[in-house]
Every structure is written in structure tokens, then in C-alpha cells.
Structure 1
Amino acid sequence: MDTPADVASTPPQPLTHRRVLKIAVPIVVSNATVPLLGIVDVGVVGQMGDAAPIGAVGIGAIILSSVFWIFGFLRMGTVGLVGQAEGAGDMAEVSAILTRALIVAGVGGLLLIAAYPLIVFAAFSWESTTADVEALARRYLFIRIWTAPFAISVYALTGWLVAQERTGAVFAVQLIMNSINIGLNFLFVLGFGWGVEGVALSTAIAEIIGAGIGLWFCRNAFARPAWRDWPRVFERARLVRMMLLNADILIRSALLVAMFTSFTFLGAQFGEVTLAANEVLIQFLYLTAYAMDGFAFAAETLIARAFGRRDPARLRRSAVMTSMWGAGICVAMGLGFWLGGPWLIDLLAKDAEVQQTARVFLPYMVFAPAIGCAAWMLDGIFIGAARGRDMRNMMILSAGLYVVAAVVLIPWLGNHGVWAALLVSFAARGASLGTRYPALERAAA
């Protein structure tokens, strides 16, 4: 067996644009399947001829997505740690990290099951719904909560596969999960007439199968005895590093979600039409994020390996090459929104007043991809380097500037101030992370 020194001294794979695309494209295609599942979920219960099941599925899915998202740090943290271990040639640690991540996922999932009554109480204390919708949503949640360990494990398995540059396997997991989910939706809801419970059961079964398929794709990790080398798996220093990294990423992500949530509420004060227009336009931003994810993932894995090899020149080349593609995507998206934005607005909203209002604020979305490009790509770069503290601190700074911009600009500019504050946060995050990049290269050396 090769030692870490032997592997680290082995010439690495060449960095080429083809390699970047091989990592990125499956993620971009995989992301394209995500909205389809939501459409099918709503569509099948919509055939029941009642509004309550549609609302119940929507609310239940949002609640669980938010709760499961708490453990999204497992994907990002696992990529950086595994990639660095592989870059350093420490293949035993590559296997041990997967075991640690799966243990966190399993324990976290069991804690969520135990906390189910509290989750339901908190959700419906805050969410105002009709009695019928709440009753159906509770049934949906009760079925899906039992698969929490499996759903969270998919985060860990995905991160491990991305670090291995096996994004084709990630796409396969996502495609199989969504296909099973959609097929069972039709069978359980339209075939058996199980309604909301059928939608929940379809998703639960798909999550269990998805975790199983993910484990199969990660089977080479279990071919090494280190995956069950318990002294290594539970080594204090490695556990502390993992927990601190994940805590930093969790804080960063929580602040990001808080900004987007507040964006919705800040826009709501200007009336239903403005709120609807903002929601239409924010979908443009989500489209950009889906497209950018693939190249951010490529940055994560290539940077992690360069960092693990202690090769700052390779790290810089990885950052530049992936960022070139990211910048190209952002320019293309901005141009597309400029040329096709009015058509897309009309496709998403049929109300003439909403269409007109959305057109007024469309220029913000034309420039948003270019302004946010540095933040998106540097996120991937810093995730790969496992520099969670920098990500956390710069997000705190940009969130603070977002609050200041909102307080100053909204009373003066109205909804234009809401959009301007959001773009200020993008620019601040990109600029602040950019100032920390030289330290990242020095750390790699």
C-alpha cells in the first residue's frame, strides 16, 4: 500500500477545462431535476380537486427541508476534509471521514425524530393555516420524519463523492431518487388514492433508497479497514476539527438563509403585487445558483486536493480555472435575463400588474449574477480549503452591511432599496472573501 508521502509525491492529474466540466456538468444537470419533483408533488395532489392537500404538501415539504437543511454542513464540510486527505495521500483518513460524517447524520436524524413533537409545535405556532391543511400537513410530517437519518446521510455521501470528483455518481443518486419518488407519487396518489400520505411515503421510500445507492457508490471507502478503525474515527483532534468546521459553515448558512428570508418580508411591506414581483424575480437568482453550483463544486474538490498536497501554485490555477467558467456562466445568465427576462416574467406570472412591476425591477437581476459571481465561486474555494472561520466571519460582515443598507436605503428608495441591499450583501461577501484569499494560499504553502 502507498504511504501518504508516496502518494503525495506522485504527479497529480493535470488540471484541464475538460476535467472542470466533467465535475461541473453532472451537478448542473442534476440541479435541473430538482424543480421537477416539486411540480409533480403539487400536480398529483392537485388532481384530488381540493386546495387543502396542495397546501399541506407545500407546508410540510418546506418545514422538513428547513429542518434537514440544518445538516447541510455535512456536504460542504465533508468535501473539504476528504479532498485534503486525498490530496495528502492519507487514504485511511478518507475512509474514516465518511464514517464520522455518517455517524453525525445518524445521530442527528435520531435527534430530529425525538424532537418531532417540538418541531411540529414550533412550525404550526408560527405558520397560520386552516385546520384541514394543518391536519394533513401533520400526517405528511409524521411519515417523513422517520427517514431523517437517511435523508441527512445523503448530504454526507454526496460530499464524499464530490471530493472524489465523482459527480456523475451524485447525478445518478439524484436521478434515481427523483425517478422513484415521481413514479411512486403516481402509483400511491393517483393509483391507490392515498393522497398526502402517498406523497410523503413516496418521498420517504426514495430517501431510503437514495441513501442505499449512495452507500453503494461509496463502497470503496469500506474496502479499507480504516472506516471501522474506531480509535482513528473518534480521535479527539480530528473530531474537534470536523465539528468546528461544520459549526462555522452552519452559522454562515444560517445567516445566508436569514438574509433571503428577510428579503421576502421586507418586500412584503410594499403590497401583494410587489411581493409577487419579487418572488418571480428571485427565481432568476435560483436559476443562476443552480447553474453556478457545478463550478463551485469543481472549485471545492480541486482546491481541496491542491490544499492537501500543499501546492499553492496548483491551488491558484484551480481557483482561476473554475472561476473563469463561473464568470462565463454569470455573464451568460445576466445577458439571458436582459434579453429573455420579460418573456420569463410573463411565463411565471399571469397577472398584468405583477408582470409590469417585475419589469421595473428586472435590471437588478440582470446585474445580480455578475455582482454575486465572486461570492459564489469564493464560497467553493474556501469550502475546499476547509476555511470555515473565514466563511463565517465574512458572512457576518456582509450580513451586517446588508442590514445597514436595508435600514438606510429602503426608507429612501422603497423596494429598490430592498434589491439594492441584497446586491450590497453579494458584493460585500465576494470582496471580503477576496481579501482573505492570499492568506489561503499562504496556508496551503
Structure 2
Amino acid sequence: MGKKKTDLTQGNITLQLLQFGLPIVVSMILQNLYNVADSLVVGRFIGDHALAAVGSTTSVSQFVLLLMGGATTGMGVIVSQYYGAGKEEEKNVKRAICTSFYIILMLAVVLGILGVLFSRQLLHGLMGVPEDVLEDSVLYLKIIFWGAVPTALYNMAFGISKALGDSVVPMLVLVVTCILNIGMNILFVAGFSMGVAGVGYATVLATLISAVICILILWKKQTIIHPEKDTIAFDWMIARHMVKIGIPSALVTATISIGNIITQRFINGYGATVMAAYSAANKIEMLLAYTPGGLTGAMQFFTGQNVGAGNYDRVKQGYRAMMKIGLAYTAIAMTVMIVFRTPLIGIFSKEGGDMVLIGGQYLVVSAIGQIFLNITYMSKSTLIGAGDSMAPVYVGLLEMAGRIIGGVVLAPFFGYLGVFAGLPIGWGLGMIYGVSRYMSGSWMKKRLVK
């Protein structure tokens, strides 16, 4: 297997994290542009009610589809630790990838079918989506769930690339498919008048193309992923390791998604205007504020490789370096979100008015919590990469608690602004626990590859 440029166990730490992390950042931006393009085209070409319909589905689809992310995360940690351990573990890298494929594909099929069958119950019964936007919401959500398998395959290919230290190929693939997605959005909605269904079909088709291209390039570029006769079978030992990481990771995404559902449920009670404002502002937030998640995501694989190699001091150095990088970016994101909040929200609406004002208020509240969010992300990624799988679950529960506080305690006094405030409260609680867990050093005893 040898030591290549993708080896994160040696070299300049800050430079490596930037070189490896920046393509992940760009990839995150491009992935978020999928949702932004959906909302932007719907808001500009159809109207605020359609924007509210598409936005109301986000938390539900994330709840189900991100459960597959647990398996992807488990795969990434195992593969990166085996890869960091050296050439003698090359067979186990292959076994981990094959076993991951079986698990992730099965989850995608099951969750996709369940999502299609119960879309209406999820949106109306669980989320309380108003009747005037319900039909469009159900239609859009069903189409997104039909794309569960392509989404899972792309995420798996991206996860394998990152675990092996290559974050550039998926980024380049996304550049092309994101442009394609935006073009198809406009064509299907403005050209063919397909309404919200058009943006759903555009997203699924673009994801499918992205998955196929990424897998083909990965297959050609990384020969280590090619299965052999003795590695293609399902490996129960590796599966147990994946489950050990994957289930807690799934719980993390579940708590985050449940938190989003809780917030969306409260927001839905304030009507279509507030729903549309929240949807638009949330897309801006994902595009700007969540970008450091790409850099902190690099910490997961950096940590995985170095823990696999036993380089614990190098992990600590990486944590400090990433702290400085993240805080520098956060200052920029906060400024943009506050200063340019009105024109940013305005691009999503052809009607303007209260929707733009309310969306701007959300961006201000969100900007206040960005420092908490960045440090929370970084701590979770480091702990996951080390194999400390339960810590992020507790962080997620604390984030969810903050959202409940906003909706239950603050909303009766401050209305939708109280609901908005639940997010930075949750991030602050999660940050306190995540940093404390990292500082305790218990993660250094969680190595999975012996």
C-alpha cells in the first residue's frame, strides 16, 4: 500500500488539514447548493407557498436518509484506521469496503421504501404541515426518497475517498453534477412547468450521475478497493466494528434530525410566511455557517489514520490547528450572515415583505451561535475518528435539548424568535460537553484497530 500523499500520519499538520479539508468544504458547499437550488428555483419561479412546501420536507428526509450516514461513518472510521495501520492491513481495507457496501445498500433500500410509503403520515401527522402546502410537500418528499439508493452510493464512494485521504475527486465530480442539477431545476420548473416535482427529479437525477461517476473514478484510481476472492464475503468481525461506530453515529444524526423536526414542527405553527422564511434562511445557514463542517470532517479521517498508527500527540496538534482555522472562518461567516442578511434572503422570494424580514432575523440569531457550532463540530469529528462513538450521541442530545428549550420555554414569550434561539442554546450545550470529553483524554483508549 505504501506511504503516499494521501497518508495523514506524517507531514505538516496545518497544511495537510487544509489540503485535505478544503476539497471537503467545497464538496459540502456543492451538496448544499443542491438544496439551495431547489429552494431558489421554487421561490423565484413558483412562490413562497411552494418554498414553504419544499422546506417543510427537509427535516423529515434528513431524519431517514441521514440514518444511512451512520453506516457510512462507521465504514470511514474502520477503513481510515486500517489504512493508517499500514500495508499489512490492506486485506482488511478491502473487507471493510465490501461489508460496508452490503450494509449501506440494504439500509438505503429499506429506508427509501418506508419513506415513500409513509411520506404523508410523516409530514401531516408528525410535522403538522398545513393543508395548503401538504400536497406539494408529500409529492416532493416521495421523489427524494426514491433517490435513497443513489444518495447512499454517492455518500459511500465519498466516504471511501476521504478515508483513503483523497477528497479531491468527489469535489470535482460534484462541480459538474451541481451545475447539471441547477440547469435541470430551471429546465424542469421554468421550461416544463413541472412545479415542485421538477426540482425533486432534478436532484435525484443529479445525485445518480454523481454516484456513477464517482464510483467509476474511484475504481480506476484506488486499486486498493478492488475486492479479491477472500475479501468479497460479508465479514462479521468488521461488521461488528462498523456497528459499534455506526449505531452511535446513526443516533447522532437521528438526534440532530429529531431536533430539526422539533424546530420545524414549532415553525409550522406560525404559518406559510414564517415557514418560507425559515426554509430560505436555513439554506443560507447551511451554505455559510456549516462550511467548517468540511474542515472538521477532515479531522475525523486525520484522527482515524493517526489513531490507527498510534500517533496520539499528532491528533492533539491537529485539534489545536483546526481550532484556529475554524475560528478564523467563523468570524467571516458571522459577518456575512449579519451584514448581508436582507439581500441573501431576498434572492429566494419574488414577493419579499415579511418573509425577508423574518429570514433575516433567523440569520442574526444563527450567527450568534456560530462559534459554539464550529467547536462542537470539531470535537465530535475528532472523537468519532478516534473511535469514541458514544460522545457525539450525548452532544446530539444536548443540541436537541436546546431546541426543545427554544420551542417550549422561550416561544411562549418571544414567538418564533424563541424557536430560533433554541439552536445556539443547543450548540452551546453541545460544545461544553464535547470539549470536556476531548480534554479528558478518554478517546485515546477507544482505538478499534489493534
Q: TM-score, normalised by structure 1?
A: 0.80
Q: Is 2:160 aligned against 1:160?
A: yes
* Farther-moved stretch of structure 1 (400-409 vs 151-160): 400-409
CA apart distance, 1:239: 0.9
Residues 169-218 of structure 1 show CA distances to partners (whole Å, capped at 9, x for unaligned) of 12123223333434555666677777776655544443333222222232
Please list the CA deviations of residues 295-338 of structure 1 after superposition, one character each: whole Å capped at 9, or x if unmatched. 11221121111111111111111111122111111122223334
Residues 189 and 198 in structure 1, CA contact (< 8 A), matched pair in contact too: yes
Q: Which residue of 1 aligns with 2:427?
A: 426
Q: 1:103 to 1:190 in 2, by over 3 A?
A: same
> Residue by residue, what CA displacement relative to the aligned partner does 1:46-68 show, whole Å, maximum 9, x if unpaired?
99989998888777887655543
Q: Is the contact between residue 143 and residue 197 of structure 2 (CA under 8 Å) also seen in structure 1?
A: yes
CA contact (8 A) 2:59 2:260 kept: no
Separation (CA, whole Å) in 1 of partners of 2:261 and 2:99? 32
**1:410-425 to 2 correspondences below 5 Å:** 410-411=411-412, 414-415=415-416, 417-425=418-426
1:69 is displaced (CA, Å) by 2.7
Q: Bigger shift: 332-341 or 60-69?
A: 60-69
Mark the CA change 1:376 to 1:247 in structure 2 (over 3 Å): closer, same or farther: same
The alpha carbon displacement at 1:14 in A equals 0.4
Correspondent of 1:30 among 21, 27, 30: 27
Larger C-alpha radius of gyration, 1 or 2? 1
Residue pair 1:82, 1:97 contacting (<8 A) in 2 also: yes
1:392 and 2:393 are equivalent in the alignment: yes
Give per-residue Cα distances to partners, 1:217-253, cap 9 Å, x unaligned: 3226873487345568533232112113111111111
- Provide the residue aligned with 2:213 in structure 1: 213
| TM-score, with length taken from structure 2 | 0.79
What RMSD, in angstroms, separates the aligned Cα atoms of the two structures? 4.2
Answer whether contact 1:59 1:137 (CA < 8 A) is retained: no
Q: Mean alpha-carbon deviation: is it higher for 200-209 or for 273-282?
A: 273-282
Deviation at 1:163, TM superposition (A): 1.6
Structure 2 contact 386–446 (Cα < 8 Å) conserved: no
Aligned in 2, Cα 1:429/1:59: closer, same or farther, shift over 3 Å?
Answer: closer
Q: 2:442 aligns with which of 428, 439, 443?
A: 439
Residue matched to 2:244: 244
Report the equivalent of 1:336. 336
Looking at structure 1, the residues matched to 95 and 276 of structure 2 have their Cα atoms a distance apart, in angstroms, of 47
Q: Mean Cα displacement is larger for which, 193-202 or 371-380?
A: 193-202
Q: How many residues align?
A: 439
- AA partner of residue 382 (structure 1): L
Contact 1:83 1:305 in 2 (8 A): yes
Whether the aligned pair in 2 keeps the contact of 1:99 and 1:228 (CA below 8 Å) is no
Distance 1:123 1:369 in 2: 30
Which amino acid in the other structure matches residue 210 of structure 1?
S
- Aligned partners of 1:375 and 1:430 also within 8 Å: yes
Taking a change above 3 Å as real, the CA distance of residues 266 and 238 of structure 1, as seen in their structure-2 partners, is same
* Offset, 1:347: 5.4
Q: In structure 1, give the amino acid aligned to 2:324.
A: M
Q: 1:220 to 1:316 in 2, by over 3 A?
A: farther
Report matched runs for 1:21-60 at 5 Å. Answer: 21-34=18-31, 36-38=33-35, 41=38
> Do residues 97 (structure 1) and 96 (structure 2) align?
yes
CA distance in 2, matches of 1:197, 1:418: 30
- State the partner residue of 2:82: 85
Q: Is the 8 A contact 2:319 2:382 kept in 1?
A: yes
Q: Do the aligned residues in 2 keep the contact of 1:316 with 1:441 (CA within 8 Å)?
A: no
CA distance in 2, matches of 1:301, 1:178: 25
Amino acid at match of 1:17: T
Name the residue aligned to 1:374: 375
C-alpha distance in 1, partners of 2:49/2:428?
A: 41
Say if 1:142 and 1:328 are closer, same or farther in 2 by CA, change over 3 A. closer
Structure that is richer in helix per residue: 1
Say if 2:303 and 2:385, in contact at 8 Å, map to a contact too: yes
Question: Who is 1:118 aligned against?
Answer: 117
Q: Do the aligned partners of residues 64 and 273 (structure 1) sit closer, same or farther apart at CA in structure 2, a change above 3 Å counting?
A: closer
Distance 2:434 2:22 in 1: 25
In structure 1, how many angstroms separate the alpha carbons of the residues matched to 2:243 and 2:414? 42
Q: Give the unaligned 5+ runs of structure 1.
A: none
Contact 1:85/1:308, CA 8 A, preserved across alignment: yes
Distance 1:63 1:415, change over 3 A: closer
1:396–1:228: structure 2 CA closer, same or farther, 3 Å change rule? farther
Q: Give the corresponding residue for 1:317.
A: 317
Distance in 2 (alpha carbons) for counterparts of 1:374 and 1:216: 36
- Paired with 2:51 and 2:399, the residues of 1 have a C-alpha distance of 37
Share of identical aligned residues, percent?
A: 20
